Amino acid sequence: MDRRSLLRAGALALATAAIPRRARADAALDQALADVAKARAKIDTLEGAFTQERTITLLASKVKSTGRLWMVRPDRLRWELDPPDAATYWVLPDGLAYKTKSGSGKIGKSAEGPMGGVLGDLLVLLGGDLAQLKARYELTLVRRDASACVIHAVPKDKALAKTTQRVELELSGDLTAMKRVAIVERGNDRSDVTFGAMVKNGKIDPKLVAGP
């Protein structure tokens, strides 16, 4: 066998060996996504506090915020930041609404660009079927054990990929609630959101998630 044939044979062997590994990884991811969907199907509402830390690489600084969320599956979420940030965001069936110190407004679900595209993602990340993200993200199962399930999502959507490198998800061991979401941006700025204990299936006033 000449050198060129040997190299081709070696490359083929490596490619063939990689197929079972990819198949196992894909199967493990699909199983994790199915298990998350099954666990979340038992949840109608979630309510709880979170801490958000924004890291700005260029300025070598970190900004911390606190807040609270209320979610009613399948299509309503209220995301409220405490003072001094004092901002509230709603994810609604028809899009996003917001109210800040500088004003308020609405963005339709069909809005182009990363803001419009991420609207549905937020609800899915926190309480939906994560398999729905496959159309817009490349998903990878990083770790799964009794304490947590970690999945990374890299945008396939070109508009979102311009601003976001990846989204890191860490779910609780029982898969019903998110423990942490990290959004890593281009330039390595990032936002890390850590969730406290979530109240599951508690009563939520419809007015809280109705929008402004």
Q: What is the CATH number of the domain that holds 32?
A: 2.50.20.10
**Per-residue pLDDT, 10:** 54
In which element (H, E) is residue 34 found? helix 3-40
What's residue 109's pLDDT?
A: 64
What is the block-wise mean pLDDT of the chain (212 residues), using blocks of 10 residues? Answer: 55 55 80 94 94 80 91 92 90 87 79 52 87 91 93 88 89 88 86 92 95 87
In the three-class reduction of DSSP (H, G, I as helix; E, B as strand; rest coil), residue 143 is classed as: strand
Task: Measure the CA–CA gap between 124 and 109, rounded to whole angstroms.
Answer: 14
Confidence at residue 115, expressed as pLDDT on a 0 to 100 scale: 46
Burial per residue of 12-30, b for 16 or more beta-carbon CB atoms within 10 angstroms, e otherwise: eeeeeeeeeeeeeeeeebe
pLDDT in the model for residue 126: 87
Q: Which domain holds residue 107?
A: 3-209
Total domains present in the chain: 1
pLDDT of residue 94: 84
What pLDDT, on a 0 to 100 scale, did the predictor assign at position 21? Answer: 66
Q: How far is 17 from 200, CA to CA, in rounded Å? A: 44
**pLDDT (0 to 100) of residue 119:** 58
Position 2 scores a pLDDT of 52
